[in-house]
Each structure stands twice: as C-alpha cells, then as structure tokens.
Amino acid sequence: MSKQHGPLADRPVNPKVGLEIPHESADLHVTGAALYTQDLLARTKDALHAWPVQAPHAHAKVVRLNVQPAHDVPGMVKVLTAADVPGLNDAGEKHDEPLFPSEVMFYGHAVCWVLGETLDAARLGAAAVEVVYETLPSLIGVREAIAAGSFQGSRRTVSRGDADTALAGAAHRFSGEFEFGGQEHFYLETMAALALVDENGQVFVQSSTQHPSETQDIVAHVLGVPAHAVTVQCLRMGGGFGGKEFQPHGLAAVAALGATLTSRPVSLRLNRTQDITMTGKRHPFLAQWEVGFDDDLRLCGLRATLTSNGGWSLDLSEPVLARALCHIDNAYWIPDIHVDGRVAKTNQQSNTAFRGFGGPQGMIVIEDILGRCAPLLGVDPQELRRRNFYSPGQRTPFGQPVRHAERLVEIWQVLNERAEVTARRREIAAYNASSPHTKRALAITPVKFGISFNLTAFNQAGGLVHVYKDGSVLINHGGAEMGQGLHTKMIQVAATALGVPLSTVRLAPTRTDKVPNTSATAASSGADLNGGAVKNACDQIRERLAVVAAGKLGIHPDDVRFVDGWATGIGFHDQRLPWATLVHDAYFQRVQLWAAGFYRTAGLHWDAERMQGEPFKYFAYGAAVSEVEVDGFTGAYRLLRADIVHDVGDSLSPLIDIGQIEGGFVQGVGWLTLEELRWDESDGPHRGRLNTQAASTYKIPSFSEMPAQFNVHLYEKATESGVVYGSKAVGEPPLMLAFSVREALRAAVGAFAPPGHSVELASPATPEAVFWAIETARAAADGTVSVPVSAIPARV
Amino acid sequence: MVNGRSRLLGEVGGHVTLLEWLRSAGYTGSKEGCAEGECGACAVLVARPDGESRSRWTAINACLVPAAGLDQQEIVTAEGLGRPTALHPVQAEMATRGGSQCGYCTPGFVCSMASEFYRADRRPTGRIEPAPSAEPNGGARRAVRDPGVESADDPAAPGSAPDHEHGPNGFDLHALSGNLCRCTGYRPIRDAAYALGAPADDDPLQVRLQRPAPEPAPTRISSGQGDFARPVTLSEALTLLADHPTARLVAGSTDWGVELNIRHARTELTIAIDRLAELRELNVSDDFIDIGAALSLSEVERGLAGRIPLLAELFPQFASRLIRNGATLGGNLGTGSPIGDSSPALLALDASLVLARADGERTVRLADYFTGYRESIKEPDELIRSIRIPRPLAPVTAFHKIAKRRFDDISSVAVAFALWLEPGEPGRQMVTDLKIGLGGVAAIPLRAFGTEAALIGKPWDAAAVAVAAEVLGGEGTPMGDHRASAPYRAATLRTSLLKFFAHHQSPNRTEVTA
C-alpha cells in the first residue's frame, strides 16, 4: 500500500474505485423501473393535486383575493393562502421570499395554491380564484435595474495591487462591455414534491431536491414545527444542475402545508410551463471592463464591474456573485486587479445556482476580453492565452496559491498533440482560402476552477454505514443523486474501504432522518465530502474488524488487509477469512458493526467581506479544442470536432467522470450558443412575461449540437492528495470547456474579415447573432466599418 | 394491449392522453418532460401497419395522442422491452455505455432506439445506398455537391452518403432527434445506438412484426373528459363532422395534443381520422402524385422514396422522427400554421388540396388555400383528403430552413425553391420557371411572386440573382419574436436565394436536380 499521498488519497490493493462501471441505477433507468418523486403518486392512495394561481403582472399589489368561486368547482378541495400558514410565510432563509405573497414580484408569481381531487379540478379551481391586482412599475433586465439603482444584498470587491496605476502604465489598453444571457436548467424532471402526514403528526416529504436538509428546514419553519417533526427523502432527481439546490423548498412546504391541513397526501409537480416561468435560472450578467497588457502581451491590469440579474429575491445570488468574482481570472495571472460585484434586483424569477455557480459568468468575461483583444494586439488568441497562464507559486487575486498551476501547461501541450492542432490549422486555412461562403475555425481554451463551497461551513458531510450480520453492507450519506453518479461512486468508495465486492454494498435513499444537517449536493463537492464521510465510517468498521481478524490469523491488527471479500495479512495469503465469516464472528464478540462517518474539508478559510482567503481545497484543470463551421448565408454553424483533456485527479469512476465531462461540455455549449431566454420587455400588457417558456421555444442541445467527433481524455497521473482516493470533483468544471466553442465561432466569423478585426459576439451566439457578426466582419472587409466601437484601443 | 397484456381502456374521454392513461394504469416508465412532443421522455412503441402484411414498431409521443385512439392497439413501453434482470439489447447497450445519467429521459430514448433497432430495412453496412428516384438523377444530387458548402444546414437524409449521423449498423441518428437528454451530451447514446446488432430471430417483438398490425377499432366513447369517436369509413367521418362542425379532427394529434396539454383547450368531440383507408393512399401517375392526408410524414417519406427530392430534403428537417411518425400533411395544412414546414415546399411544388365533405369533393390550389392566421377556405364540415402534386417536377429544388437548432426546431424562416432552367445563349442558362414558397414571414405561408417574376425569363447568373435577392428580402411582412428578429428574417430571405444560386450556378448541370 502506497503511503505517499496520505491516508485519504491512498488506494489499497484491488480497489473498487477506478473501475469503469455503469451508473448504479442504469438497469432501472433503461427499463423504466427507476422511480422519481412523481412516480410515487401511482403508489399513493387518495392524494390531492396542487395547482398555482399565477399572477399575470411583473409587479403588482394583491388588492383582493377571493377564493370563494373556487369552491363551486367540482373536485376542488382547498385553496391554500397566507392565512393558512401556521409558521413562517417564507420559502427561503433570508425572509425575502414570502411563500404566499401580498405583492407580486414577477410575471407568473404564485399568489396562492389550489388543491383538487384531480389535477384538472385543481387547475379549474385555480382559474376560478379571483385576484384583484394594482399594478406597479416594473424593472426587466439588468440595464433597467442599473438605471433605476435597484440592487439587493451585499456588494463585494476582489482586489489586489493597484489596477488604476497598472492600467495607466499599460502598453496596450482596451475597454468594453459584455452582456450575456442566463440559462434555464431544463432538468427533464420538473420540480416535484409529495407530502404525507403520519399518525403521530410526523411530516414526510418526498422531494426532488439537491438539499434535503434545507428542504426540511423550510418545511419545518413554514409549518411552525421543529426539524425533528419533518423528514425529507429524495430517491433520485431527474436532473438538478443547481436548479434544485434552493428552489424546491417552498414547493415542498406548500405540499406539506396542504397535507397537514387536509390530512391527505398532497402531490405538487410543476408542469414545464410552470417550472420555467416560476423558478430561477443561471444569472445573466453585465460586465464592464478595462484591461491592460504590457509589451510582452501579458495582462498587467484589469478593472471590472460585474452586475448580475438576481431577479426578485436574493436566493443564492450573493454566493453566486462571489464565485464569479473569484473566477474572473480563470487560468490567467493578473497582477493588479480590481473587480466590483453587485446584484441587481428586478421583477423576474429569482435567479439561482446553475452548474458552475457564477464561475462560468466570471470566466467568460476574461475569455471574451482575450478573444476580442487578440486581433487588436495582432496575436493569435491561443498564444495570448498560453502566455498569460499562472505559474507555480503565484496566487489568485483573493490570495490563494494556485497549486499545480503547471498542469495548465501540461494539459495544453497534451491537448495540442492529441487534437493535432497544428496540422488542422493548416487544413482549416486551406479550406477557408477556397471557400467564400463557409468558414471553419478552431479555438482552444483552458479551465481552472476552485473546488469547495466558498462558505467554509458547508464543507462537511455525514455518512452512515451498516454491516449486517450476514456481511451485507448498507450505506447512506447526505448527498443526493441527480444523475451525476454520486451513489455509484459512494458504493465504490465503501467497497474499496471495506475490501468487499461491489455486490456486497447496497445504497439506501437519501433522507434526513438517517444523516442530519447535510449540505447541498452542489459545488461539485458531493463525492469529495460524502466520499470522505462514507470512507470514515467504513474505516471505523474495518479497524474494528481488523482486531477480530488479527486474533483469528494470529497477526497484528495493523497487518490485516481486506481485499475482494477476504481478510488476510500482509505478505502471506495462505491464510484468509471470508468477509461474511469474519462479520459473523465479530457480531458474536459484540463488536459494533455499523458506524456514523464524518468529514470536514481541512485547511479552508475565507473572509467573505474582504474576499480574501483560501476557500478552495484545490483547483480542477482542463482544456478543450473545438472546431466549427459557419455558414455565411445564415450564420448557422456546426460543431465538427471537440477534444478535451480534463483533470479529475485519479478517477473514482471513469465512465461516470467522462459522462460528466461530456455532459457538462454540451450543456455549456447550449448556454453559449443556443439557449436564449427572452422576456417581454415592452410596455404592453404582458410586460415581464417569459416568452421562451416551453421546450418548443427554449431550445436545449439535441443530437445536432453534439460534436461530430468527440474525444475526451482524463489527465493522467493526477492524484490529488487530501481527497478521497486521490480523486477530484468533476460536476461543474467541464461546463466551462465550452468556451472553446464560442471562441471558435468568433474565429470563424473573423475569417470573413480582414486580419486585425475584433469580433464581438453576443451570448448566446445563436445563428442570428453569428450572422450579424459576419455582416459586421464583411463590412470591415469592404472597408465600410472599422473596429467595433466598444473595443477601442485607448492607448497603443 | 400493453406490453403483451390486455388492459381495459375504460371510459377515457378525448381529453385523456395516452401518457396520462399509462401512468394512471401504473406504467410509470413513460415520463412527462414537456407535454408538447419536444422532449420524447414519454415515447412508447405502437404496432403500426408496414405494407399489407407486416407491422412496424413505431415510436410516438404518448403525451400527444388521445388514449382512446389506441383502442385495441398494441403498445410497448420501456417496461415491456426488458426488466432490470433481463435487459433488452437496446437497454443493455444504453446501460453499459453510460447512456443514462439521471435516467429520466432514458425510457423514451430506449423506445425511440428500439423502433430503429427493429426497422426492417436497417442494413448493417457502413454505407447507405442512395434512395431510388423516379426523377432524373434524383439520387445523385448529393454526390455533386461540395459537402463543405452545404453542410451547415444539411441534415443527412436517408439516402445520403455515410456520415456521423448514420452508424455502421445502418442506425439513423435522426431516429433519436425527438428525444432530449440534459445530462450526457449524447455521445454515449449515439455509441449505444451504433453498437446495436440485428434483432434475434426469436425476439418476440421481432416475431410480432411478421403479422399485420391491429385493425383500427371503431370506437365511440362518451365521457366527462370529452367524447371520442373513431369512424371506420370516410363517409361515416364526414357525416359525423357535418353533425358536429366544432369537433376536433385528429390524425397524429401532434398539434391538438399541444393545445390540450399546454393551453388546456377542450372540445366536446374528438374525431380520429388517422386510420381511414381513403385518406391513406399514395398514388403516383404520370400527371400527379397524390398523397393521402392521413399518412404520417414517415409513411410519406418511405412511400415516396425520394421521388420528390424537395420533400426528401424537407422531411429530415420537419420536427423529429417521433413527430413525423404521427404528424400528417393533412394536419400540417389543416391547422394552417404560418410556420408549418410543409406549406412552403408544397407551395413551391404548386400543390393542390382535395377537400372532402359529405356531399362531395373539390380541389383547390394551395396558393389559394390560406386566408389568414390559422385560417383557410376549408369549411368546418370539410376535411383534407389528399395533397396533389403536379408532374413533371422542377428539375432544381432546395429547401432552406432557418432555425436556432439544426434538429427539431420551429422555423424562423423556411424557403422552398423549384426552378426550371433552359440553355439560352451559349454558356448561359435561362430561368424558364421558378416557384418559391415562404414560411415564417407573414400570417400565412406565401408564394414569393415578386421574386419569381424578377427572375423568370432572366439569365441564371449572379447579376440577375442579386437583383432578385433584394426583391425576396422584401417579400412578406416578417415580425420579430423570440425566435428571430424581423431584420434577420428579411436578411435570410435575401441570402437564401444567394445560397441557392451558389449551389446551383454551374451552367452545365441541367442534369442535376436540386
């Protein structure tokens, strides 16, 4: 057994981590046997259905609410209003999100909820509720909020050195603005909760939630009961992506309230339209910036203001903004920097966590800056990026050393070779020379992403491991499964730690009465945290069993090894004990066969006000090369090939990790190219309405967006010391690899223009956006327009 | 029959979708993801006719069709394909290759994939042969193209050269174009699809295909959830319609299903006409091709087998396979949507519609059919019996669809071209006739008469095309909305003619169609 990486990172002989195994529920998924919250309804007798009364105004006072007409609807059972709330009328923890509001804050805001014997009865009941509104002025979009001075929460600044002096002395200086869109989660399973109350008043809520403990907390405070009176279970989610980190709570509370008041099970499932119109999305941002480069084309200063559109309430907007500020550097050393951040308050859905949690919104700003400035500096963007990479020993603007910065260069080199970048650049140049109407281009971009919750307290987890007398193992942990393969990895961790076959381990659904006070399954940290806790529990059991085995084998407990279901000693294998026998014997020796595990990430500290410290356990690295082809007639494009090298440490589960990388990449491509949220910004009667509120109008990637050639490689020999079995988190970082597609589109547009033309590209870069960028590029080629006005070289 | 077992349909009215019925009956494998036929999470297999004596496992969106329409039909869900302890080959490939992550979309993918798995003419070869064509050299049209020039909006159709959208096992990736996955990025799903072998000879679902599909059952249900009727003859249907002019006619129900689910539209009576034999004929004569209005687009695509190159180019871009397996030309024209993709193509083909009612039939030109937004000259008691396309067909055609997403999106703009050229002065081609159909640029689908007039009688050269392109850019009254801005719609109208010309400017290619 190797000891070079410390006890948490070391892998024993024949580990079950690192095996390429399918998702633990794959057989259930493919046969339709896997159950999701709403599927439980078919097994629940006499459940009522909930339907919201959604306001048709972006901002209005509820002057009068008359629920009486709803009672004339056959099958309508009860209208839930603020008057029914025994506890706190709040769907969050910041007291800025009334569950039953008296003031409508966005178009589609649920004013009250109607319970019916059938969904149709609830819907018709909701339609019968009379609400009189007094409309109020509304703010839609971040620019309207800025103009009105409408902000919420704390303003934060990340700063190092003297940005103004650095900019004043820069050899090359540019300024610009970049407004980019948000992203709907579009988890295939919409929000769902099913609540029951047992004979003793115990409330049991099945919820599609990434944060069962917080769902429990909110349900408890709405009902006005202690947390111990509420149990939340999550079997699995049909996708979460951050969208179910904060916003399932209020919906679960509505279902629980209904169940409490009617003594019947209550099912609440948002249909797609309700889900898109009521729940928050990835924050759109406006970035305003000024950047300086020295004579060697190295970044010497950056001053920027990031304004996010938080929507009507704070939700997770503050930590999302903090992560954006902490990632504006991406992979680049910026010695003097000053970045201000603020959250706009608007009359839109309350924006929330989404894979990357502000990281993508910070990183896209610097990538956009480099992509726009490279032609003005007369340098290849790839060279400009590489030249500005962090070197080992340098620190981020918030003061954290960039450990393993050398991996950026190594990954860059490996990727360039694997993707045959040099040869393909020649082919592309030849193609473009002979193709007037379509152009191709490739681009390569890096990712550096900090892992851990910025808020240090969240970096803890619990696990519960039972070994039964027959040797079978049941594990439970605080993380929720949303498709990311967390449960698969936890089974592998437990089997590795106990030295048993995978089939010996079974995993029980996540629920708050098994493991309490859990953190959200978020920040990519699920495997790191829960893996640490599960391993800790297993280690305790294994150590107790080692004592029993040592007695049998006549050796010292330290010399006992557990491999593939056998206990044996180091160095000799002629004597060994079957796992089940050992467990059986241990029971009769009255040895505790179960354990609660705990894990807290060591070494973290963070001053949230000064935005300084070491909030991250480590950084995940990666890079991607993407090649696109753009049609000059329409702006339509195709992703021809993508190559990725990504650092997951020593993978716990390679099939799972590659799935996360590919899926994150394509989801990022969707955000940057296709997925467009459009609100009614007119002064008409539907001002504030989301116009893209269905799968037919909000398009997520389909097969047509998958790269024709897609090669993903895990960075090798990447052991991460201090993390469970040497692995690294993988959920979020790969999303940002999709910047390579956006930059490739920029380069392909640039191929329609003369050299030195800076391409401004809207985000998302829809075919229409690409078309207009090409028109501008062509105009530059005709000499009718010079460089875009907002990227003006201030000094050369 | 669900998964080989008889289930009592019960008194389900016209408003109950197959998905609702299945889920209430305990089959939870089919999921609701969008309730409008966009995501495919609800997909199931139904046994549909495949010629006279065989069946075809056809994947459809259960969220759109009325459950009553499946009376006495055979349905297979993901649960019926295999069990966790005995996986179906499609399920095994999906499970072991990482084709599922959250798993919610997976049963739908499995059904779409199984439909393609059982497709009788799927050939395990790396190369797909060009489709046979009745038109001169129709099958060779792609061979003369510069693939790089065309590829940005040229989804491969059956009949195209091998590419990454067709597997070495003959699997057509477009079979999955109506299924959305938010987790995987699709690569492992594609790999699973391309790894499939042929069904075993004793595979019960394969064996089942050797027998005819169930006959349509005469159905009449009265219920608090709306009445439902499936007449068995056209005259019965027309009489019913005459008695209930406000009844809702459904074939694939791909439009009505959306109204029902999303806008909660309701009707007293739903009349299913998708299995009326009189509406399901495909007749090819020297003067016309008559396409039955109730044939699904997939059936039309197979039946025409590339005979009408413009439609062959359209079909892969028309919604998704799941939709095309239900949707009909009659429905696409009957709803009168200005963004229905078939209208521009049929306008360019100068199609006519045969309208039937209880007291007789009439034939109207499609160019005269639309009268306003979702309005037409069709009377409430009329239905579209067939679509008539005159021959000979234009030798050069193209269909341009402008949309955000390449697969399964609604057009911002759709343009169909049908061009006749004749040699003029040495080295010059003259435009002898041109028909251009437009979608998405007005309240109704339009013919671009002004543009046509600007080119007919002119040489087919860059100068004349440039002038005409400006005219085309001014056709219609494009609006701005969440799909595209008005200036973009106008601009892509203009560039569509330039693009068409760029692909068909060689003076020596009169033999090349489209």
3-state SS record for A702-729:
CHHHCCCEEEEEECCCCCCCCCHHHECC
Q: Considering only CB atoms, which chain A residues are within 8 Å of B149?
A: 435, 437-438
Q: How far is CA A336 from CA A327, A358, B358, in A?
A: 15, 22, 82
Chain A residue with Cα closest to B24: A42
pTM strictly above 0.90 = yes
**CA separation for the pair B319, B340 (Å, rounded):** 10
CA distance to partner chain B, nearest, from residue A691 (Å): 7
User: Looking at beta carbons, which residues of chain B come within 8 Å of A438?
Assistant: 148-149, 151-152
Distance from CA of B414 to the nearest CA of A (A): 12
- A58, A274, A14, A303: which is closest to A166 by C-alpha? A303
What pLDDT shows up at residue B511?
Answer: 37
pLDDT the model gives residue A134: 98
pLDDT string in tens for chain B (514-residue length): 999 999 999 889 999 999 999 999 999 999 999 999 999 999 999 999 998 899 999 999 999 999 999 999 999 999 999 999 999 999 999 999 999 999 999 999 999 999 999 999 998 765 444 433 333 333 333 333 333 333 333 333 333 445 788 999 999 999 999 999 999 999 999 999 999 999 999 999 999 999 999 999 999 999 988 999 999 999 999 999 999 999 999 999 999 999 999 999 999 999 999 999 999 999 999 999 999 999 999 999 999 999 999 999 999 999 999 999 999 999 999 988 777 889 999 999 999 999 999 999 999 999 999 999 889 999 999 999 999 999 999 999 999 999 999 888 888 999 999 999 999 888 889 999 999 999 999 999 999 999 999 999 999 999 999 999 999 999 999 999 999 999 999 999 999 999 999 999 854 443 333 3
Beta bridge partners of B447: B437
Q: For A579-627, how does the pLDDT look when each residue is reduced to its tens digit (9 = 90+)? A: 999 999 999 999 999 999 999 999 999 999 999 999 999 999 999 999 9
Residue A259: in which H helix or E strand, if any? helix A248-262
Strands A566-569 and A203-207: unpaired
Residue B62 phi, psi dihedral angles, 5° rounding:
-70, -20
The first and second tokens of residue B511, run together, are 């033999």
Chain B residue numbers with beta carbons less than 8 Å from the beta carbon of A691 are 481-482
According to the model, what pLDDT value does residue A717 have? Answer: 87
CB contact under 8 A, B408 and A238: no
Q: Which residues pair with B284 in a beta bridge?
A: B289
Q: Among residues A622, A618, A607, A613, which one has the least CA distance to residue A661?
A: A622
Chain B residues with CB-CB distance to A431 below 8 A: 148
User: What pLDDT, on a 0 to 100 scale, did the predictor assign at position B428?
Assistant: 87
Separation CA B424–CA B428 (nearest Å): 5
Residue appearing with tokens 């803890």: A460
Q: Parse chain A into domains and list their residue ranges.
A: 26-34+466-600, 389-452+618-768
Q: Is A600 in a helix, a strand, or coil?
A: strand
- In Å, how far is B286's CA from the nearest CA of chain A? 37
Reduce the DSSP state of residue A128 to 3 states and report it: helix
* Contact state of A238 with B102 under an 8 Å Cβ cutoff: yes
- pLDDT, position A789: 39
Q: Looking at the DSSP assignment, which residues form a beta bridge with residue A475?
A: A465, A507
Question: What pLDDT sits at residue A781?
Answer: 86
Measured between beta carbons, which residues in chain A are less than 8 angstroms from residue B23? 42
Burial of A191 (0-12, 13-18, 19+ CB in 10 A): buried
Write the burial class of residue A368 (CB in 10 Å: 0-12 exposed, 13-18 middle, 19+ buried): buried
Cα-based angle A78, A81, A82 (whole degrees, multiple of 5): 150
Per-residue pLDDT at B53: 92
Provide the terminal-to-terminal Cα distance of chain A, rounded to the nearest Å: 59
What is the enclosing helix (H) or strand (E) of B446? strand B446-447
Residue B24: its chain A contacts at CB < 8 A? 42
Tally the C-alpha atoms within 13 A of residue A741's C-alpha that lie toward its C-beta. 31
Long-range contacts of B18-26 (CB under 8 A, 24+ apart): B18/B44, B18/B62, B18/B63, B18/B65, B18/B66, B18/B67, B18/B69, B18/B70, B18/B75, B19/B62, B19/B63, B20/B67, B21/B67, B22/B62, B22/B67, B22/B75, B22/B77, B23/A42, B24/A42, B26/A42
Catalytic-labelled residue, pool A24, A676, A720, A732: A732
Please return the burial class of A1, using the count of CB atoms within 10 Å of its CB with bins 0-12, 13-18 and 19+.
exposed
Confidence (pLDDT) at B51: 85
Distance from CA of A169 to the nearest CA of B (A): 43
Q: What is the pLDDT of residues A505-533, one digit of tens each?
A: 999 999 999 999 999 999 999 999 999 99
Q: How many of the other CB atoms lie within 10 Å of CB of A202?
A: 14
Does the bond joining B392 to the residue before it have cis omega, within 30 degrees of 0?
Answer: yes
Contact between A396 and A329 under an 8 Å Cβ cutoff? The reply is yes
Please check whether the two domains, A26-34+466-600 and A389-452+618-768, share a CATH topology: yes
- The answer to whether the CB atoms of A237 and B79 lie below 8 A apart is no
Taking contacts as CB-CB distances below 8 angstroms, the residues of chain A near B337 are none
Domain A26-34+466-600 listed as CATH 1.10.1060.10: no
B79 with A32: Cβ contact below 8 A:
yes
CB pairs under 8 A between A and B: 276
The C-alpha atoms of residue A68 and residue A130 are separated, in whole angstroms, by 8
Q: Give dist(CA A451, CA A750) in Å, integer.
A: 35
What local confidence, expressed as pLDDT, does residue B506 receive? 59
At B427 the pLDDT is: 81
Nearest to B26 among A42, A271, A665 (CB): A42
Fold of A389-452+618-768: Aldehyde Oxidoreductase; domain 4 (3.30.365)
Please state, as a whole number, how many other Cβ atoms lie within 10 Å of the Cβ of residue A2.
10
The CA-atom distances, in angstroms, between A491 and each of A33, A85, A465, A497, A498 are: 20, 41, 11, 10, 11
Can you spell out the DSSP letters for A7-52?
TTT---SS-STT-----TTHHHHHTT----GGGGGGGSTT-EEEEE
**Whether B492 and A771 lie within 8 Å, measured CB to CB:** yes
- For residue B457, count other CB atoms closer than 10 A to its CB: 13
Strand A473-477 with A505-507, pairing = parallel
The token duo for B195 is 């790894």
Mutation pick from A354, A634, A682 vs chain B, by most beta carbons of B within 10 Å, is A634
Helix or strand (DSSP H, E) at A179: strand A172-180
Active site residue A732: yes
Which residue carries 């150590």 as its tokens?
A543
Nearest Cα of chain A lies from the Cα of B475 at a distance, in angstroms, of 17
- Domains annotated for chain B, with CATH where assigned, are 1-126+167-214 (3.10.20.30)
Amino acid in position A7: P
B113, closest residue in chain A (CA to CA):
A30
Partners of residue A664 in chain B, C-beta under 8 Å: 185
Nearest to B166 by CA among B178, B156, B181: B156
Q: Give kind and range of the element (H or E) at residue B365.
A: strand B360-365
pLDDT band at A6 (very low <50, low <70, confident <90, very high): low
Q: What per-residue confidence (pLDDT) applies to A394?
A: 98
Residue A636: closest CA among chain B residues belongs to which residue?
Answer: B152
Q: Is residue A491 over pLDDT 80?
A: yes
Among B7, B20, B25, which Cα is nearest to B63's?
Answer: B20
Check the CA dihedral A194-A197-A203-A204 and report its sign. Answer: negative
Residue B156's pLDDT is 37
Q: Which two tokens stand for residue A722?
A: 């201090």
Residue type, A617: K
Beta strands in A593-677 (DSSP E): 594-600, 605-607, 612-614, 618-631, 637-646
Q: How far apart are CA A128 and CA A552, in angstroms?
A: 75
Rounded-to-integer distance, Cα A782 and Cα A785, Å: 8
Closest listed residue to residue B181, CA positions, set B21, B286, B355, B40: B40
A739 in reach of chain B (CB within 8 A): no
Q: Between A188, A662, A701, which is nearest B39 by CB?
A: A188
C-alpha distances (whole Å) from B40 to each of B25, B60, B62, B187 are 20, 8, 9, 17
Q: Between A240, A272, A697, which is nearest B35 by CB?
A: A272
CA terminus-to-terminus distance, chain B: 45
- CB A662 to CB B32 under 8 A? no
pLDDT in tens, A189-235: 999 999 999 989 999 999 999 999 999 999 999 999 999 999 999 99
C-alpha to C-alpha distance for A708 and B187, rounded to whole angstroms:
9
Nearest CA to A634 out of B344, B489, B338, B317 is that of B489
Report ipTM for this prediction. Answer: 0.96
Is there a contact between A189 and B180 if contact means CB atoms under 8 Å apart? no
C-beta atoms of A237 and B102 within 8 A: yes
In this predicted model, what pLDDT tens digit does every residue of A417-475 receive, in sequence order? 999 999 999 999 999 999 999 999 999 999 999 999 988 999 999 999 999 999 999 99
Question: What ranges in B71-198 are assigned the alpha helix state H?
Answer: 78-81, 89-96, 106-117, 147-150, 187-194
